[in-house]
Structures are given as structure tokens and as C-alpha cells.
Structure 1
Amino acid sequence: MTLFDVSPRTQNLHARLTAFMDEYIYPNEAEFHRQVEGGNRWEHVQLIEDLKPRAREQGLWNLFLPPGSDPQGQFGPGLSNLEYAPLCEVMGRVWWAPEIFNCNAPDTGNMEVLARYGTPEQQEQWLVPLLNGEIRSAFSMTEPGVASSDATNIESSIVRQGDEYVINGRKWWTSGAGDPRCKISIFMGKTDPTAPRHLQQSMILIPMDTPGATIDRMMTVFGYDDAPHGHAEMTFENVRVAATNMLLGEGRGFEIAQGRLGPGRIHHCMRLIGQAERALELMVQRSGQRVAFGKPLAGHQHIRELIAQSRMEIDQARLLTLQAAHMMDTVGNKAARGQIAAIKVVAPNVALRVIDRAIQVFGGAGVSQDTPLAMMYAQARTLRLADGPDIVHVETVAKEELRRQGVDVRAKRG
């Protein structure tokens, strides 16, 4: 992989991270699944806990944390989005690996929210333990009763009563809630339904052990429950938290969501490039080893076309990801929203196509538990929905292009 003009520091981290993956992650993939299946599936995995100190000792910790979030350099190296991109790609090659480096969703997005919008007290109580990997977190935004792709549809209520807020609502796909180490959730709901459309929502911190916050069930993704991480459907019934748990202020929820989801979306894309790259490697290896009709699969033109198409598409997606990361660093997340939206559509679809080709080359083994391809496919397909469905991002790209060329699509009166 070409690192272009990425800093020598990042190239050094890339080499060290790749060596760590080679030594500790790939050889332990079967062991990870054995440990998950061998006991309480919703307890922590000892393999991951054993590897975290090694990663931290090697300086491979909180690599996602952007400059300015940690002025003293206590918790991470303070990499830009462009510097982080190739590292996130490497970690993304194995779905459970990012946690070892404290770079896993939804914790990364939640930590960025707390770092950017949290009060000093909120940061001390929740951000520091998250940065240290002592606890985990969840994000409660999507609701089963409304089209949550439009965040202004959210119906959950956050009502001020004296020195407290009372929260009511139902959420699902609350990622991270299944882990017993999950201690805090960032919750989005409406504080003022009569306010202007994008000023009705707020975000508030809800400790997971607060009375009235209940996990109803764990959701599955194409049959995978992603234990011990998991995605929960939850009920919040008359949940009371201190007024000081409000983030940034009432009516700022949509603003926080936009700030949170930009980096989160591109992180997903970086990891997806890693997934696609690994699927291509597996496809190439299989095509050289498997014989059909008297010669290796790689000797058949159709297989070579699959390999070539995959290589071209991955490289295109990576370039678009790096462009979006560069723009986020240079002009800011808001100005880069068109590029972020574009890669959020491109990366999952490219990954899906590459993984599907690899599955086809592997045959029956490709859809079994003997390869990581089936789970990779399920995760990539989910990311055409998570953090906004494709069509929402396509609309953003179109609107940005129309605006750039001065075309007004608003309805004309008279």
C-alpha cells in the first residue's frame, strides 16, 4: 500500500502496527472465537484484555484521537485524519482488532464527543476512563418507530424537571450495550418539539445502571450477535439523570450528531478498505491453491478478471478516503461533508463486491465459519445503513455538486 506523503511518524506506526497484527492478531483469530464461544458470550474476551497492555506499551493506543483533544499528549499521538487512515485500515482487517488499540466504535465517536463538547467534569468522569480503556460506552440514537435516517424524526423525550432531566423512549441498534463493561451511553432525544426543526434535539449522558434504562434484547446482524460487543434494543422509562449530564446545551443535539458522525463515518470507511484488502488477499491465495478443470483457479481468465476488478476498485476507494481525510484536516468536517458522504457510499459497496467475489472463489468454504468472509460481508452490508443509508449520502453529494455549480433546486413561487 502506498502511503503517499504521510508523515514519517505515521509510516513508523504503520510498520509497528502491521508487525503487531502479524504477531498477535492473525495467529489468534481462532482463539478469539474459541474464547467467545467457550463461556459467557457477553463477558470480556481475555485474549483482548491480555493484548491491550502490549499495544499500549508499544505506543499503539488511541491512534484515532485527533490533534487538540489531548494537548499534553498523555493518551495518544494526536494524528490527523490523513495520518490515521492507513492505520485504521490495518486494524480493520480483523473486526475485533480495533478494541486492542482502543480504536473501536462506538467508543471512538463517543470519546471525540466528550473531548469536543464535554465539560471538564464530564471528561474526568467518563472520557478519562474511556481513554484508558477501563470502561466501554454505547450510543443511543436510532429508534424502531421512526425513520432515523432523518434525525429530526426522533421521538424520545428529554424533559427538564428541576435539577434533573427525565428521559423516555425506545432505542435500538445501541452498539456496545451488550458488553458488561459498558458504563455510559450518549442518548439523543427531543427537549423542545416546538423549536425549529434542527434545534429540537439534545444529547445527554445516561449511566447504564440508571433505573429505568433496560436492555430488552440483543439484535443480530444476518444471524451474528457480535458478542461480547453487541447491539441492543433498549427501553428508557422515566430515567432520571442530573441536569449536568446534558452535553453542550439543550437544542445542540443535531449539531453534536453532525460533528460525531463525520469522523465516525470515515473511520468505518477506512476499516472497510482493510476488510476489502484482506478479502482480495484471501481470494488470490485461494486461486493459486485450488485446482479446477485441470489448472489452478488463477489460470482461468474469469478469476483473473475478478482479481483485477477488485484491485482497481479498492485503490479507487482508498484514494477517495484519503481525499476526504485530507479535506477534513484542511478545511474542516463541514466543508468536507460532500467527500465524507461520497466515501460513505463507495467504501461499503466496494467492500461488498470484493468480499462477494472472494466468497465465490472459495465456494462453500466462503459462506462457512472456516473463513472470515461471511462475517465480513454481513458487516459491510450493515454499513450501507449505519451512520445513514446510502440514499441520504447520495443526496448530500448531489446537493453539494449543485451548490458548487450554482444551481438552485428550491421550489419557485408564482
Structure 2
Amino acid sequence: MSTHPELMTTPLTEKLLRGALDLERTEHGLRPHRLPAPVRARYADGQLAMAEAQPAGVRLVLRTRATVVELDTLPTKRAYTGAPPRPDGIYDLVVGGRLAGQGTVAGGNTLAIDMATGSAELLPGTVGTVRFSGLSADLKDIEIWLPHNEATELVALRSDAPVEPTPDRGRPVWLHHGSSISHGSDAASPTTTWPALAAALGGVELINLGLAGSALLDPFTARTLRDTPADLISVKIGINLVNTDLMRLRAFTPAVHGFLDTIREGHPTTPLLVVSPVLCPIHEDTPGPSAPDLGAISEGRLSFRAAGDPAETAAGKLTLSVIRDELARIVTQRSAEDPNLHHLDGRELYGEADFAELPLPDALHPDAATHRRMGERFAELAFRTAGPLAVPGD
């Protein structure tokens, strides 16, 4: 908490936030959500609840002359039984479009997860403060990006000069949905997840609906995409369907069609890019489910393995290779009547040559360097002048 009584407090409201689809009033303050309240009420899945409450892509947007800004939050951090402690989530300070500082909040709640049993326990903690000082006294636009990997309750905002919401810059809104890789996985900080990097390079406003472990073609996710205003949309489909072993090919194909049909109900002509999975060797030709590598965990490392049988692919079990082929076929079929529907093979973002140079540390998730590479490549492939998500007039 602040020890500087000269700072003024500004009420936290939705006008100061971008990237969240809902705000929940709590006993401490505001909890940003990336799925609407009706969805959260109907689908009380623990993994989904944890993922959507982690504010990937959510940021405070302020115009101010303040030289000091403090933010009190109550984070909820994850701890995995037998694995080394995870670092505190990073808060990125962006001033005038450039990274100008970083900070963390100590303490907070802890969600203790046992990967071997699937159990989880919430251990309550205390509110903490991230402080940014030494800023210039000129009028400037500030963004504070919240940690992409910690559920965060916003408690209080203080500064040494008045703040107001940053005016809308008129940039196109890019709405993206995907798995933990899109959510941010092992990116270094919230502005360096691959979608955040791509958005900055592409000059668009990001709404990140990357939901770790939960990109499962759920109808409620499609309805959320349908109902969220956006100028550009992308959906990255595949890895979670394999590593949860959720469905077979017979169910996958109509589910993809239904997912796209629902999005098109609200965005009939919006540029829509379907992205297939990036390379993940353990599941290229081996079905799911993914399972924790208990041997690695016993050594203090978090890693995963493919627990399926490749022979079952003939009976319709999904692998990444199967999904890529089917997504390409579906988009080719549909684009004959939907010229604004496009396809991108995920291996153009991260493929075999990339894996040889930058292997996946836990066999599933890219590291910080790979996020940067993927963000740069997506911006080049999607947002360039001839790209499927190119902004008109660029």
C-alpha cells in the first residue's frame, strides 16, 4: 500500500480499461474478465475460470501529467506441487507506445495446483502495490498492462496529477481467440505475448481471448466472439482439442463449421482468419491426451508428453496433422461463398526449423524468444498490405 499521502486517488472504472469484456465488483475492487458474466455463470469449469480471469491483453489507459503512478492490486498466483516457484507476474508500463518500465506485486492469493491429482486449493493473501516513478511531467498517454498469467483484482489507482481515459485513437480492433499460446504461455511479460507484439506492429487494438487449455470450439466462446465489436478477427484452433482428447474427427468438422457460423452471425463480412496449430512434435502424429511428465516434475521441471496411441488416428482421433488438413479443407470450401474468410498454416509462425533453433521448453509452450518471433511473423503475414487482416488504406 502507498506510503505517499500526497498522491490523489482516481476511481477505477471501465473507461480506464481496454481489453476486458466484463468487470466484476469484488470486496476489494474490480476484477477484469475476458468472458461475460452469463458465460461464467453457466460454465463453471475450473480451468476456464482460471484462464478467463487472467487479464491477458487487459491494460489501463491513462492520459496524464503525472510523474508517479501507483496501482494497488490483489493478484492470484499459481504454484505447482513439486515444481519450482513461479516468478511474480509482470506489469508493463507503456508511455507513448514504448515500454518505459516494469514492476511486480508481492503477496496476493496463491492457487496451489497438484498436476498429479488435478486438485487445486486457493490460499488467501494480501493486497500489494506496483509503483512507477520518474515519469516526465508533460501530457502523455500511459498504458499499464496487467500480468497475462495472474488473475488480478484492481484495488486503487493513485497519481501525483489528475488522470483521465486515453481518447480512442481510432485504430482497428483485432479480436483474437486461441489456446495458452495465444494467452501468453511463457512470454516474458504482457506486452511480449505474441498477440500483443503483433498488435503493436500492426497498429491495431487487441482484445485477446486466448484461453489457456480452453480453446475447445465451445459455443459460448463463439457467441462471445459474435457479440464483441471488432474490425478484424482471428481464431487459432487445434492444440487444446488434441491435448484434452475432447472429440474425434466426426465431431470436429461440424463443430468448426458451427463455430464459424456463429461468428458470422455477428460479423458477416469482417475479415476472419483461421489459424491452424503451430508445430508441436509430441502431437504432430500422436493423439492426446497430453499428460504431465511426472519424471520431469520429480526433477523440478514442468513438462508434458503425449499419452495417446498413433494407431487410433485411423478411428478418428485428432492429431495436429489431421487438424491442419481439415481446417485447410474447411476454409477452402467456405471461402468460395465467404471471400473474407482466410487460412494461415500455424507452421508459418513456428515450424520445424524454428523448433530446431528454439525448442519448446516443456514440449507444449513456446518461450519468450519464440513469442517474439511468432508476433513478428503474424504481423508480417496478417497485417501487411496484402495480408488477410490488412487495415484498409494501409
TM over 0.5: no
- The structure having more radius of gyration, on CA atoms, is 1
Higher strand share: 2
Higher helix share: 1
TM-score, normalised by the number of residues in structure 2: 0.28
